[in-house]
Chain A
Amino acid sequence: MDSRRRILDALRAASPPAPRAPDLSGVGVRWDDPVKKLSEMVLAVAGRLVRVPDAAALPAAVAALASEVGAAQVASAVEGVPGTVDLSRAKDAHALEGLGLAVLPGAFAVAENGAVWVRGETFRPRGAFVIAEHLALVVPASEVVHDLHEAYRRIVLDGAGFGTFIAGPSKTADIEQALVIGAHGARSCTLFLVG
């Protein structure tokens, strides 16, 4: 008998009766001001939130960030934000080594934890968000959800693809619990909230 059959049979034989899946209507949080909560939580995850009045003001805001972090090369997958590197021409993620700043669109931000949902189909190569030295995520101010429950009600994951929540810059506390920013991925993470 193959292992697949053997494991599934063993699990079926061993499984206790399954109680019903719980009713999840009792969990979840609603904030009076989700954008205010989001700003607090972005700080808590060591990120930065910048309000931008409209899409027209975005390129200047990104340029200011690029010069602040000293990014010579900027790659953008956000419409209307020019970059110096064309992401779509990168052969694969290896070509992005040394990239100073990646600017990527976020679908929405989550107030309870400061995370931004980034859909894989909005940029390529996949590694752009983690290989770049610095990261900027662009989210419309209208797209802020209260909590993860609301977030997953919005997320569609049917079929092949990739999606990730990103909450602040890459970090570690593996040496004596001292928080260090910039472990493997982006050394900073700026969330531009537009509108």
Chain B
Amino acid sequence: MTGARATGGHPAAAAEFVANEPRARWHDQALWFVRDKRDRAASLVPDWERLRDAAAAIRAHSRGRLADLLEEFEAKAVACGAKVHWAADAAEHNAIVHRLLSERGVRRVVKSKSMLTEECGLNEYLGARGIEVVDTDLGERIVQLAGEPPSHIIFPAIHKKREEIGALFHEKLGTAEGLADPKALTEAARGHLRERFLAAEAGITGVNFAVAETGGVVVCTNEGNADMGTSLPRLHIACMGVEKIVPRLEHLAVLLRLLARSATGQPITTYTSHFQGPMEGGELHVVIVDNGRSALLADPSVRGALACIRCGACMNTCPVFRRSGGYSYGWVVPGPIGSILASARDPAAHATLPFASTLCGSCDAICPVKIDLHGELLVQRRTLAARGLVSPGKRLGMRLVAFVLAHRALYEAAGRLLRLALRRLPRSLLYGPWNVWGRRRELPAPPEESFRETWRRTRGARG
């Protein structure tokens, strides 16, 4: 992982990203385009807000019954002929998948998108043991060929321009030099990946939802890569976090109506496949993974984040994500939801992420399951401060501001002083190295008088 895990955290990684201004602007607009499509899709659904309320209630209900629901799911899945495995952490998950593959002599695996396997580092683990894993989602294949992690959970290669993908395909897939047409590049990837599908001995998928009532797992894709990867090889391994469970099909209906519209503005993904046991002559293994989720569930301030259905809408709308890019977060899930999950999991390693937000609340307004994203980010900030994980400069600054805000006379005097300073001081002083805010922005023109002064002059005069 690049980016925020390095010592400078999110601000340093974001500074690198915004240094290329045209590119940062392009990235911003690309994501806003997706956000706009989501808005149009949502506006066509008359019961949209009631759906969001229902989804939030379904997730709150499920959260309180995860263990019961998982047991019900397991019994039904086994009755359908699937095998169910339980992994307490990433290491156990990887070991289980590796054992399933190596026991069957599998060397070639195709995988559809799964943030969980990214979180667990499965590709590297299997690669080191001589098993080739080919990511088959086009965006994921692009970043895999480039040797990079995904920069967005829905659009893994959204940070790449078509010319760069063309150059990458020229080098790795032998396409014509200078080819940059998305249609032609996709066609090349189709041919390349179809060979891999036909030769694969196992298919690994993530799980969008698991249904306790039926024992089935549901996988959504637009490309059909999960369906290719599970109908050609005989072995299908589906990896899911414990929070993916929904009680009944009627609840699945609510979440599916929200998922694709929130993610890409589509009314539904092209393929929404329900796997109940293996296909004819095949095997289905479901690996249920905790890896820190039960700890999140135990913490009232962050357990709401477990409701996430990984649509990515909070990233597309976030002014910080759009202008700093997915890599600046240094975690498998970036953006507002990723900042909560990462810092709750390991506050010291991700101490800057809860501050990578303006707390504008745009993410709360768009989240299909109504996670209180900005509220949880704020709680994470408090946790970091209480643990002494906030930088000395920020700590001192916050103390100073708190002190001034708590003392009225001092606050008014500081206001007068600042207005005077903004008018009189030379630019070199105002924009000295201490003015972090002003590095890329102009300070506002000072008003003639403060709000209090205006109030006293006008209302006060009226008596």
Contacts and interface: CB of A to CB of B under 8 A. Distances in A.
A15 interface: yes
A63 to B, nearest CB: 25
B357 interface: no
Contacts of B79: 159
Interface stretch (B3-11, B116-124, B189-197, B374-382): B189-197
B67 A11 contact: yes
A184 interface: yes
Given A15-B64, A112-B267, A183 B183 contact: no
Contact of B228 (A14, A114, A127): A127
B414 interface: no
Interface residues of B, number: 100
Interface string B165-202: 10000000000000000110111011001100110000
Leading 6 A-B pairs by shortest Cβ distance: A18-B64, A185-B224, A127-B231, A14-B298, A174-B139, A113-B267
Interface in A37-67: 41, 44-45
A186 B271 CA distance: 11
Interface in B227-256: 227-228, 230-232, 242, 247, 249-254, 256
Interface stretch (A70-78, A79-87, A91-99, A100-108): A91-99
B305 to A, nearest CB: 14
Interface stretch (B80-88, B347-355, B384-392, B441-449): B80-88
A10 B298 CA distance: 9
B297 A129 contact: no
A82 B407 CA distance: 86
A175 B182 contact: yes
B58 A22 contact: yes
A126 B294 contact: no
Given A3-B92, A27-B254, A16 B186 contact: no
Contacts of A45: 266-268, 270
B281 interface: yes
Contacts of A21: 57-58, 61, 247, 251
B70 A17 contact: no
Contacts of B104: none
Contacts of B216: 157
A12 to B, nearest CB: 5
Interface string B268-312: 111111111111110000001010001101101001000000000
A29 interface: yes
B288 A130 contact: no
A140 interface: no
A130 B63 contact: no
B147 interface: no
B224 A130 contact: yes
A16 B271 contact: no
A155 B272 CA distance: 13
A172 B222 contact: yes
Contact of B80 (A160, A165, A177): A160
Interface residues of B, dominant DSSP: helix
Contacts of A162: 273-276, 279
B155 interface: yes
A11 B276 contact: no
A44 B225 CA distance: 21
A152 B250 contact: yes
Contacts of A152: 249-250, 252-253
15 contacts: A3-B88, A10-B290, A14-B295, A16-B64, A16-B300, A27-B54, A97-B194, A126-B280, A152-B250, A152-B253, A157-B216, A168-B270, A171-B223, A182-B187, A183-B138
Contacts of A161: 80, 276-277
B185 to A, nearest CB: 6
A11 B158 CA distance: 36
B157 interface: yes
Nearest to B56: A22
B231 A167 contact: no
A81 to B, nearest CB: 22
A126 B269 contact: no
Contact of A185 (B158, B223, B272, B295): B223
A94 B57 contact: no
B80 A159 contact: yes
B46 A29 contact: yes
A33 interface: no
A141 interface: no
A112 B261 CA distance: 12
A166 B267 CA distance: 12
Given A7-B86, A130-B224, A157-B274, 20 more contacts: A7-B88, A12-B67, A14-B295, A14-B303, A15-B67, A16-B63, A18-B65, A21-B57, A22-B61, A24-B54, A92-B281, A112-B257, A124-B280, A127-B232, A130-B231, A131-B231, A167-B268, A172-B223, A177-B34, A180-B186
